[in-house]
Structures are given as C-alpha cells and as structure tokens.
Chain A
C-alpha cells in the first residue's frame, strides 16, 4: 500500500475513534432530552422515500 493511501486510512480511523470517544465522554450533553425512540424518525423517512 502506498504511503499516501496509508496516511488517509490512518487519518480516517483516528478521527472516527476521536468522535466515538468524544460521544461517550460527553454523552449527557450531546443527548440532552430523552428521545421518542426511532419510530417517529422512521415515519418521516418513509415519507421522504
């Protein structure tokens, strides 16, 4: 694998890991309200599709 490609892959996984870690660290802030589960989301989606 060429160094250019390796650099991009490494970058992507690092960022993904950072985002996941960040989410669990700040879960309380990021999920401020209890959601009505995914059903309503699904409802809107079906309309769109």
Chain B
C-alpha cells in the first residue's frame, strides 16, 4: 500500500543537499516519490509500506550525512510491576512505526521516547501501551498532581484493608506450631466458611490488580510477577474451597485449609510494593532537591520601575535587583554592586566567592552581603540549574550495560519458573507423594511465589538512580548510567596540569635582565605578550602592568606553538620563549642565564628567555600555584589503585618539579596542545583504560578520546559535549569522588543482583523440596524487593570526608 509521510531533515545547507537527499530517498526500493524543501527542511516521501519503512528512510538520510529530526517525549508510566513489564512497554513502543528509541525505567516509572514526528503521535503511543495493560501520562500532564503519591495512598489503603482481614487468619496459624498451640483461638475463625469470607475480599479486591495485570500480560504472550502471584494464590484459595466443600457435613476432623496462605501472600506482597514505592520515591530525591533550589520570584527593573514577578517571566536582558540574603533568580552578569555569593549548593564549593561588575553569577545561588544588579543572560531551560537537572534526570533514566543483561535474564525467568513449578507439581503428585494433592500443591505455590523477579528488575536502576543523584549533590555529574559503570574500570588517570592540578592563574615571579633599564625591558616584553592569548602571556602582562608600565604597540606578531612568540616593538625584533626558540634564531644564551633558568625550572616555575634584535636580553618566569586540594586528591586516586599521569606543555624540568610536589606517578611533559589526544591514544594502545581530567574547552579532543572524559571546574556549563562526567567544583577531589562513586555504585549493583539472585535461585530448590511454607515464600519475596531498594538507598548517605583523609562513611 502506498503511503505518504513527511520527514523533518536537518543539516541541509544548499540546493545540492536537497537534490542529494531527494535522489538518495528515491533510490530506496519501494519509494515512489520524494520531494525535499530546503526552506521548511521537509521531505515529503511517498512509499510502498510493504517494501520499505520509515526506519529505512531515516537510515538512508543519515547515510547521506543528514539527520532526520526526531522529537523526544517523556512519560510517567503506571501499572508496571516488574522487569518483564518494563520490557513489554519498551517493546510495544519500539514496535510502533516512527518510534526510533524507547527507554523505560522501571524504578523511576518513566519512559522516554524519541520518535519521528510525522510518523507517529503521542496519542498512538498511549493507545498502544494502554492495550498492553499499562498507562502513559505525558510529563507535563502529570505535573499538577503527583501520580506516585496517589498510588502510594491507594496501596496503603489496600494494605490496611488486607491486613485487617488477614489478621484473624494469621491468628489461626498459631495452631500450626507446637510452641504456640496453647494459645486460644476463637472457634469462629477456625470455621472454613468464615475463613472463606475473610479471604475472599483479599483475594479478589486487593488481589484484583494481580489478576488484571496477569491477564494483560498473558494476552500479550508474556509473563510477569503478577502471573506468578495470581497462579500461586489462586491455587491455594480454590483448593481450600474444594477441601471445605468436601468436608462439609462429613463430621470428620477439619482438613488443613490454605486460605491464610493466599491472604498472607497477597497482603505481604502489597506491603512489599508499598515499601518499594516509598523507597523509590526517595531515590529520586536528588532531582526534587535540585528543583527546590530555584528562586520563585525575581525583582525586575523595567522602564525604571521595580516589580516582583515570577521567575518564569524573567526574559533575557532583564535587569534584576538581588538584595543580600536573596537567591539569584537566573544566570546573569553583575552590572552593579559587589557581594560574596554562596555557590555551595551547585558547586559544593564551601567558601563564598566575591563577585563584582562583569562577573558571572549562577541562578539559585545565594547573595550573601551586598546588593547586586544583575543582567539576565540565561533563563528558563538554559540556566545552569535547569541543565544540571536535565543531565541528572537523563543519567538516572539511562541504562547501564549490566542492566541490559539483567533484562534479558528476567524476561525468560518467569516462563522458566512456571515450567519448573509444573514439573514440581507432577513430580510430587505422581512420584514422591502419589495422589496427595496437598503435598504436591504446597511446593508448587511456594515456587510460584518465591520466584518473582521483582528484586532482579529493581537491582540496577535503583542503584543507578541513587548513585547518580548522590554524585550530583557532590558536584559530580555523570552524563549516563554507562559512565557510572565504566568509570570503575579505568586504571589510569591523566590530569592536565594547567587549571586542573594548578589554579591556571599563573603569576609573574622573576625578572632577570642584562639591561640597565629594567622598565624598558619589561615594556618590550609586555607589549609583545599583550597580543598573545596564552595564559602565561596574560600573567606576564598583568604583572608588568601592575608595575605601572605603559605598553606599546607590537607589529608582525607571530606565535610559534610550544616555543614562544615573536614581534616587533618600535622596530626592535623581540623573541620571547624557550631555549629552542632562541637557538633557532641563532641567539647566544649566556651560561649564567642557563643556570638561573635551570634553577627556576627546578622550582616548578616556567622561565621564558627574551632576545631583542638577535641578542639575549634577559629572562622572566611565571609560576602557577598548585591547588590546595591537588595533592590530597592525587593520593586518593593512587589509593584507589590508579596510575596517575600529569600531562603538560611545560618543559620536563618544570613539570617534574610540580609533579614531585603533588605526587603523580608519571609526567608527560612538552606535549603540544594538539598532541594531548594522541598521548591518550598511545596509552590506550598500551592496554590502559584512561580517564582524562581537564577543562572542557582546550582539552576537548583529549576528553573525547579518553575512555572517560571529566571536565573540571566548569561550574555553570554542564552540558559540555566532550565530557562524560562534569565536575562542577574546580577541586581535583571531585575526580576522586567520581571514581569512588562509580566503584561504590557498581558494588551496590552487584550486591543487589546477588541479593536478588540468591533469593530467587536458592529459595527455588528449598521450595521444590516442600520445606518452604507458601506464606514464608510470600514474605521472602516481598522483602527481597524491599531489601534491594533499601540497599540502593545507602548510596545516598555516602559521605566523602575531603581534606583530612579519604575515609568513606556510610557505604
């Protein structure tokens, strides 16, 4: 059948592109016609649905070097109970034509879908998922009332209802054990009809959700925990009715009934789910905390009048008044005033930072003591806080590789368990206890109940959520669950020197000149360096200007990467740079200068030689201060077993001096900026798994090449593409924190998986052997999920005591 669709295409720049896309699309088998409009960036395609599909068209467009623009939508999902359900929702969504990717998170109860706008609508997704037995609520829709809170209330009500009716049944259980048999039990609760009357509402009102979900799952040819619970409790319930019926009027001793088993299992599982829902709510607390940081109102000055408006109404360019003690409403630049700003909530930096005219301020930080006038530069979704929330949300919603494996296991787990339960039943009924229905049924029920893979499904996502949330609070933003996972695997940490190990703000420390007129020497040096962008040059100029020297104009400026600069000032050709630069220009360097230079370098200073008109004139040195925290952070990284390498463009001797002060294992000196990524590649070729820590701008290529790229001290700009992890604090300890959080989160995931597997697998043979009463199975199964979630919550309490030692508390 012929179908017409419109694709949104991006990346087209000219008419040639249009033709290329048109031709390309037409070459796909099954495409009748393609029409591309560059202005609207639309491609209208008529194609045969049986011969090709949207995915293929999108692939073709991508092959040609363009992108089919896709939309993203976020949903809250209700009705999911275990990993099988989330798999099911994911499958239903991805099967829809036009849906490119669907990611369902069981723990967050969310789904994020990227889709081709023209091909599928949000309504279609809701419909399809609804048919499968779950409900999608668009994020914006569900914002007003909290779906999760309502669900918790309903489940609490159901649990109390079930508990009240189950308690009398539980009371009758005292007769089951010799040591409690002396306790009095009212006659009426022993009556099978009374037991039936108490168990029935629990089975069919509270338990209705299990039947409903089980039915939907089976209709879709899948099986989940609801199937197991419904099967197990129904077997106990209906078999008891049968026995009660048989007993009626016989006058014999009352047979053993299993109403209490069915009711207790349902009650406990509802209780387990309740605990789980509450705990899951707590794992997403990091986001709530972040959102709570936002200022609600802003005082804006428009047309000379001050007005208080909601923060959402602030537009770019607005002038905002911020009084002492108030929160800065949005990101901006200080236009007037001076104050100390507390940025600890975003960067973890404990000391307030002084800000004055021209300095950037971040929304949600607190103005401590002075009144400020701020011009809004980033508002709404663009603010640093909004970006942080987005990154954390994406990380929490993403899947670690280990989870994909778990998903696969749990999807085959339920059918396998049902088969195992059937075999157990047959084994008992025909071989071990021929003809004894009760003896065969009890282990079967226990197996069905104990084997629910809920804990398995929750193990990874809850840890990832708690781990990435806690990291965010510490100022470490993981861009996705996979990085939280892979950071643990690194063995080598490469640190960029400038701005990472050191403050990146070098200061002029030494001036040595052959000239009598030091002022003139400095004037020439300053005039040349003024043109340069290099941080060392800026330090020199700053130091010289502070001495009150007026700088001149430099001509014919040239920067020689990794060597230095040359320019003419007042007709004097001035060279500033390394020994190599001077010797390349055949300048004789005096022996005395050589000695001084070596000495400066040994102190970790960067010395620069100066020659004017081909004659050596003197030298200057700048030194970058090492950050207070660097030494401690490096020793923490080493204690984690990492090989720590410092990478720098400085000469070997200077680099070694700094390396010795901070205690790195290895130094790679004299590395040109563009060679940094090659050094990383070389390390990787030697079989090392490398994490690179550097700033997000100059080190971007190296960050991208490294197995894990950490952008440090970027504070406000969290969305740096090249980085896998953004360290909001300038402190190198954050890198150590990132490594630590990764290790602890992965350990937590493994503990969780271990718990979950242990519950499921070790309990199965015990249940099959008939040693596990069904109600115990129900309790164990309910609390396996709870224990997994509680274990994940421990990650939220991790405290890293920086500065003094590297003790980790709470993990």
Contacts and interface: CB of A to CB of B under 8 A. Distances in A.
A41 B177 CA distance: 11
A44 B181 CA distance: 13
B754 interface: no
Interface residues of A, number: 32
Contacts of A35: 253-254
Nearest to B247: A33
B154 A33 contact: no
B488 to A, nearest CB: 43
B154 A4 contact: yes
A35 B250 CA distance: 10
Contacts of B191: 23, 30-31
Contacts, number: 94
B160 A5 contact: yes
B165 interface: yes
Contacts of B188: 20, 23-24
Q: Is the interface of B mostly helix, strand, loop or mixed?
A: helix
A33 B250 contact: yes
Contacts of B175: 38, 41-42, 45
A28 interface: no
B157 A9 contact: yes
B160 A9 contact: yes
Interface of B: 150, 153-154, 156-158, 160-162, 164-165, 168, 175-178, 181, 185, 187-188, 190-191, 193-194, 197-198, 201, 248-256, 438, 442, 773
Interface in A1-30: 2, 4-5, 7-9, 11-13, 15-16, 19-20, 22-24, 30
Nearest to A49: B176
Closest 3 CB pairs of A and B: A8-B157, A33-B251, A40-B253
Given A23-B194, A33-B251, A36-B253, A2 B153 contact: yes
Contact of A48 (B161, B250, B256): B256
B149 to A, nearest CB: 9
B773 A8 contact: no
Q: Is the interface of A mostly helix, strand, loop or mixed?
A: helix
15 contacts: A2-B153, A5-B157, A8-B157, A19-B197, A19-B198, A23-B191, A23-B194, A30-B191, A30-B193, A33-B249, A41-B253, A41-B254, A42-B175, A44-B253, A46-B176
B648 to A, nearest CB: 62
B187 to A, nearest CB: 8
A16 B165 contact: yes
Contacts of B150: 4
Nearest to A8: B157
Contacts of B249: 32-33
Contacts of B156: 4-5
Contacts of A44: 253, 255-256
Nearest to A39: B253
A40 B254 CA distance: 8
Contacts of A34: 251
